[in-house]
Structure 1
Amino acid sequence: GDDDHEGEFGASSGGAFHEGEVAFDEVAQEADDDRDTISLVVVGHVDAGKSTLNGHLLYALGYVDQKVMHRNERDSKVMGKASFAFAWLMDGNSDERERGVTIDVGVNTFATEHRRIQLLDAPGHKDFVPNMISGAAQADAAVLVIDGSTGEFESGFHAGGQTIEHTVLVRSLGVQQLIVAVNKMDNVGYSQERFDEIKKEVGAFVKRAGYRAEDVSFVPVSGFKGENLLERKEEALNKWYCGPTLVELIDRLHPPVRAVDQSMRMVVGDVFKTQGLGLCVAGKLDAGAVRVGDSLVCRPGDVEAVVRSVDKHGKRRRHARAGDSVTLALNGDREELDNVRVGNVLCCPRNPIPMVCSFLAQILTFDIAVPLTIGFQGVMYWQSVNEPVVLNRLLCLVDKQSGEISRKRPRAIGSSSTAIVQVTCQRAVCLERFADYKQLGRFTLREGGSSVAA
């Protein structure tokens, strides 16, 4: 259903301030940037040009060192992939460069006039949809990149392409604002007819997928040429398009109301150690606030820790709140801290995230070939965690329009159906009630390499 947001500013998760543990943190604190932070995931069919578009955008905004760009241009030519120079700004590991596809979610940050953006470059290949899900689960908004080249849009949008799956998954994971970037317009001479054709077909689809018309924008671009990212230079495009650039559309995105009044929650996105700080965890604060000196618990495992420092936008802070992407240095028992893993949840010890082995869920099935029945075995993807699950009970089907029960104890759940089911895991997992923490109460079901429900 549609998200209903509520919340006022509230207290942090608490915890004592231990001066000795944070003595090194006595540094000048720069004033917080008052621009809202938005996590923006970029999705689309493989080879739609997502990484090239993202890389060129960062370069045009001045976030790429000229030496790095020259090195990428040189190395990409050596490998016979000269057109990948901008993409390599996002695809840094050797496997991604060798295969020419994004595998992991690349994370970068940049600022526009009114927004701070955390840019999540998600993989487009069907083999890496689970990685895309972990990126989309962190997102407040999305850019759907579509290859406008003749024949390429059709292959990505039809015949098993990832455009449809990505669009539906992103919406089911709570993203409501969507920018559709029709890319590679230089390949079709910046044709208005081609842009309008794609806009009409995709516009009808995203409406059926649950997006509101006022939350969807379309923009013609060329990621490789850099056209209409920050400015327009091509006369062929200027003849008919006078709308906003991609950056202008990003700057207009609305930040969602943050759950700052709830108990602190942060899903761990990265774990690393530094010589000066020891164990550090990075992630997005999903709810509440965190301050230097706060006591936290990490689940599963109930590892206790104290926040030694808070780093936001590359600068040391005393605190952070819901919506911020942060790095926290933690103090605690070294052996216990070694058990902290990506996908764990840092939370307030007085109100930790529940651990469950079985739960009821309202699911929406996608376009599935085989109906779901009791005993269905699949994999649940929650944030960056995946767990084998079984559907033990099918309680009822729900009417999409009224929300009323339409049939009790159905024998099967077909395509595009809403149902309430009982899900059982092999081991206890972190999960919130949707009514309490919307983003932490969403998950996706996949089976045999395909997404079946959310």
Structure 2
Amino acid sequence: MNDDYSDYSDNEEFHEDALHNEEYDALYAVLPEAKKALSSYNPNIPEIEIKEALYYHYFEIKPALEDLRAKFPKKKAKAKAKFNRPSPDDFVLEAQKQAFEKDMKMLSIDDAVEKKSGISTSRAIETKPFVKIDLNKELAEYVQPHMCFVVIGHVDAGKSTLMGRILYDTGTVDGKTINKLVREAEKSGKGSFALAWLLDQTAEERLRGITIDICSTSFKTEKMSFTAIDAPGHKDFIPQMISGVSQANIAVLVVDSIKGKFEAGFVMDGQTKEHTLLAKSLGLEQVCIAINKLDKEEWSQSRYEDIKAQLTLFFTSSEVGFSEQNLHFIPISGLTGVNVVMRDVCGKSTPELAWYKGPTLIELLEHINAQEGTTTTLGELLAEECNIFANEIAEILPSELHVQGKVSLGVVQAGETVRIHPTGDCLQVQSLSVHGKSEPVAVRGQNIQLKFKTNQLKNKSIDDLAVGDLILNLESSVRLVRSFEACITTFHMNKPLLVGTPFVLFRNNASVSARISKIILIKDSKRKKMHLVSNQRAVVEIEINQDRPLPVSEFSKNKALGRIVLRKEGVTIAAGTIKSVNDVN
């Protein structure tokens, strides 16, 4: 067998971080086109499968698509495309129906701008909410205690099993459901995976025993309600993990305490470090560290303290930057449930854990939320511009579009007309739901689903929409850019980051190809350089390498839209904040 081909075989998995520079660049050069070609065929094909097919066929799109179509059935739902294809003709025809002659003169100017920039400049009529509601009353409901947390950590640390245990012990799922999953898991020879299968529901996830995409679920305790996001731990699915972190207020890091397993996830370049680094870079300040599977170590206090000491040293280092008071450690067993929701399970105490006097995991989360909670006034909410990050887009019926996302700022009501950036489509919210329940209004911090009419889209199709798009007020000040100035900090890199070298840039759950076009300043360096090395702080100009502009904001004005993460060759190489933006022109 050819030595170059031996790195990829039927018995080996595709690993993005093992690609050479040329392979990595070639992959991301053809990936958008491949995803676009599959968008109307099957929107649920995992990105890792597309990457693997492209790699196997030496980045040739046609044979890769043939393999994927043979492997995956065609689905009715349409996928999210990564490129905007505006239709000025449709825009003009629609405008002619209602516009006055004066407006038509303005339209000719707007149409020229649209053709040049690739974005819509359509003006929409503002609509009022369907139902007049008492916002003060709704606000009272909003300020009821609620927390959204993301579960992160190295693959096989027990994240999905822990979430399954929480859902069962809080009564969110019943014993009948668990018994069914136990039987299914045992038939597959994976009996201990039953709880994890509550979250890992696809055939591929169950076969491989890993989470591939994020999964969101809700549960309640007597004191408050929670939204929990189970993020993938495998290094091939870091983009999905970033999407999960961008929706949360706090991170629950699950680490495997078994000797050898913890070291593999933390010391030996596992995902524990990168997940923690990403959580901090994306704005999470509080981390609850669940030291899992400690029952397999006889509930050893010395093992617990050793892991705690190593993690604390890393988390509080200058590279990561967490405050020690924001780190919360707790010993648990996700499989048996000890110290998760209840201290004791089935009325049986755990004498070996007598040394631990702290709260259970759920009690800890309730306590953190009580400390972090602040009262928001109605005036403050209404003064905020509405920002909603699109996490999932689907055409349920030919005439009906559903968008799931998180309200980052402000308020949205059913009946209002909103604008989607960067396409510029203006849509009326037909209905909205919060945690699966129909509501007249949704506010900052809530994960919601919005329903729109597809025929209100300029192109009558969802093909131009993508995960990471923003839903905004009609008069939002959020800018569309193809370049901006940013303050970044580089992490450990195996080689320098050169001006012009492509990388993947993440802004919350949006990802685009980008490059540094100019190094403006390197802190503590008097000489001008054309490259950055590990652990440097610099001011740089970043350029987006695609026609579709990116909605962002200066960090000083909007923290959620002003944070960025840079990844290359499957590794996080830098993070930072946006200092200033250059509008699309």
Q: Of residues 358, 364, 368 in structure 2, which corresponds to 1:249?
A: 364
Between 1:104-113 and 1:92-101, the stretch displaced more is 104-113
TM-score (norm 2): 0.69
Q: Check 1:388–1:123 CA distance in 2 against 1; reply closer, same or farther (3 A cut).
A: same
The partner residue of 1:356 within 468, 481, 487 is: 481
Task: Measure how far apart 1:335 and its partner are.
Answer: 4.7
Q: Give the Å deviation of 1:436.
A: 1.2
Q: Once the 2 structures are TM-superposed, how far is the Cα of residue 31 of structure 1 from its aligned partner?
A: 8.1
* 1:412 corresponds to 2:536: no
Deviations 1:412-439 (A, max 9, x none): 3222221111111123112121111101
Matched ranges for 1:243-282 at <5 A:
243-254=358-369, 255=372, 260=381, 261-274=383-396, 278-282=400-404
Whole-Å separation in 2 of the counterparts to 1:247 and 1:159: 30
Change (3 A) 1:273 1:65: farther
Q: Tell me what 2:65 maps to.
A: none
- From 227, 234, 253, the counterpart of 1:125: 234
AA at the equivalent of 1:429: L
Between the aligned partners of 1:328 and 1:168, the Cα distance in structure 2 is 32
The match for 2:340 is 229
**One of 195, 200, 203 as aligned partner of 2:304:** 195
Given that 1:265 and 1:345 are in contact with CA atoms closer than 8 Å, whether structure 2 keeps it comes out as: yes
**1:384-399 correspondence runs (5 A):** 384-398=509-523
**What letter is aligned with 2:446?**
D
Structure 2 match to 1:8: none
Query: What amino acid sits opposite 2:312 in the alignment?
Result: G
Give the 3 Å change call, closer, same or farther, for CA 440–135 of structure 1 in structure 2: same
Aligned to 1:32, the other structure's residue is in SS state helix
Q: 1:24-39 alignment to 2 at 5 Å?
A: 32=141, 34-39=143-148
In the alignment, which residue of structure 2 is the partner of 1:50? 159
Structure 1 residue corresponding to 2:413, chosen from 291, 295, 299: 291
Deviation larger for 429-438 or 410-419: 410-419
Check 1:304–1:72 CA distance in 2 against 1; reply closer, same or farther (3 A cut): same
In 1, are the aligned partners of 2:129 and 2:413 still within 8 Å (CA)?
no
1:308 paired residue number: 430
Name the counterpart of 2:322.
211
Q: For 2:263 and 2:351, locate their aligned partners in 1 and report how far apart those are by CA, in whole Å.
A: 23
Structure-2 residue corresponding to 1:326: 448
The correspondence for 1:450, drawn from 559, 571, 576, is 571
Report what 1:434 is aligned to.
555
Distance in 2 (alpha carbons) for counterparts of 1:18 and 1:56: 40
Deviation larger for 88-97 or 268-277: 268-277
Matching residue within 204, 207, 210 for 1:95: 204
Task: Find the aligned partners of 2:171 and 2:129 in 1 and give their Cα distance.
Answer: 40
Matches within 5 A, 1:101-140: 101-140=210-249
Determine the structure 2 residue equivalent to 1:422.
541
Please say if residues 160 and 196 of structure 2, whose CA atoms lie closer than 8 Å, have aligned partners that are also in contact: yes
Pairwise CA distance, 1:295: 1.3
Give the aligned CA root-mean-square deviation in angstroms. Answer: 2.3
1:345 aligns with 470
Aligned to 2:181, the other structure's residue is in SS state helix
Structure 1 residues 408 and 117, CA gap change in structure 2 (3 angstroms): farther
Structure 1 residue 172: Cα displacement: 0.6
Please report the TM-score for the alignment, with normalisation by the length of structure 1.
0.89
Deviations 1:344-386 (A, max 9, x none): 1111111253111111111111111212221221111222222
The more displaced of 370-379 and 107-116 is: 107-116
Unmatched 5+ stretches in structure 1: 1-13, 24-28, 400-405
Q: CA deviation at 1:334?
A: 4.3
- Equivalent of 1:80, from 177, 189, 194? 189
Specify which structure has the higher proportion of helix.
2
- In structure 2, relative to structure 1, the CA distance for the partners of 1:439 and 1:114 (3 Å cut) is farther
Q: Is the 8 A contact 2:287 2:327 kept in 1?
A: yes
Give me the whole-angstrom Cα distance separating, in 2, the residues matched to 1:416 and 1:369.
Answer: 12
Distance in 1 between residues matched to 2:453 and 2:495, nearest whole Å: 50
Cα shift readout 1:308-343 (whole Å, capped 9, x = no counterpart)? 222113222221211111112224634536323322
C-alpha contact 2:399 2:454 (8 A) present in aligned 1: no
Does the 8 Å CA contact 1:134/1:382 hold for their aligned counterparts? Answer: no
1:32, CA displacement in angstroms?
2.9
SS of the aligned residue for 2:141 comes to coil
Q: CA deviation at 1:256?
A: 6.7
Quick check: which one's strand share is greater?
A: 1
Aligned length, in residue pairs: 428
Structure 2: which 5+ runs fail to align?
1-124, 133-137, 576-585
Between stretches 87-96 and 225-234, larger displacement belongs to: 225-234
* Larger gyration radius, structure 1 or structure 2: 2
Report what 2:507 is aligned to. 382
Q: In the aligned structure 2, how far is the partner of 1:381 from the partner of 1:158?
A: 26
Q: What residue identity is the alignment partner of 1:452?
A: I
Deviation string for 1:284-329 (max 9, x for gaps)?
1011111122110111211111112221132222212111111122
